[in-house]
Chain A
Amino acid sequence: DAGVTQSPTHLIKTRGQQVTLRCSPKSGHDTVSWYQQALGQGPQFIFQYYEEEERQRGNFPDRFSGHQFPNYSSELNVNALLLGDSALYLCASSSRTGYGYTFGSGTRLTVV
């Protein structure tokens, strides 16, 4: 049974570019949450998707957007990249009640 799968694992982008990160949830999970983890800090909540809609959002600008597909997979899009967007982006899936919260291995984004 595959867990949460994220792609790509590493990515280097130039300031001002746009990036799309992808997440496939664990089988049986329908809720996907995205987190940003800067070096040496705990993860910060970006947003959560359930039933193809954004249900909750953390304190992130509109440059950060997402999408959830009918198969529950999700994308995180970041526009107009800044150097400060360099971080590990983690995806986590769960049931709607939070049961079985499972993290992916993350995508390491470097903005140069």
Chain B
Amino acid sequence: KNEVEQSPQNLTAQEGEFITINCSYSVGISALHWLQQHPGGGIVSLFMLSSGKKKHGRLIATINIQEKHSSLHITASHPRDSAVYICAAWGTSGSRLTFGEGTQLTVNP
């Protein structure tokens, strides 16, 4: 069992739909990252959060430390949101990220 697990692995949506990607982790963490990776490789950090909720534009990230669960929401999805979304845990015992396998999101026009 991976230390960081995401669901779903693949997600297809129509433009305008509300999207949720889930992340569960089994290790103690000091923070959790949500990352976006477009085809070609470049990774962009969307959020780093250790409690509560953060919002940036149409993106919202929440975390529940007690339940070891985080969600990434995209409101009014758009085809340009199509990418791989990865959650990554920043452990309490070290200073490296442990990554989930990623969620491939495709938003159709």
Contact = CB atoms under 8 A, between A and B. Distances in A.
A44 to B, nearest CB: 8
Q: Which of B41, B42, B94, B100 has the most chain A CB atoms inside 10 A of its CB? A: B41
B-side binding surface: helix, strand, loop or mixed? strand
Contact of A90 (B30, B43, B100): B43
In which size bucket is the chain A interface? 20 to 34
B96 A56 contact: yes
Contacts of A25: none
Interface of B: 30-31, 33, 35, 40-45, 48, 86, 88, 90, 94-102
Given A33-B97, A101-B90, 7 more contacts: A43-B97, A55-B95, A98-B30, A102-B45, A103-B44, A105-B40, A105-B42
Interface of A: 31, 33, 35, 37, 41-45, 48, 55-56, 58, 88, 90, 92, 94, 96-98, 101-106, 108
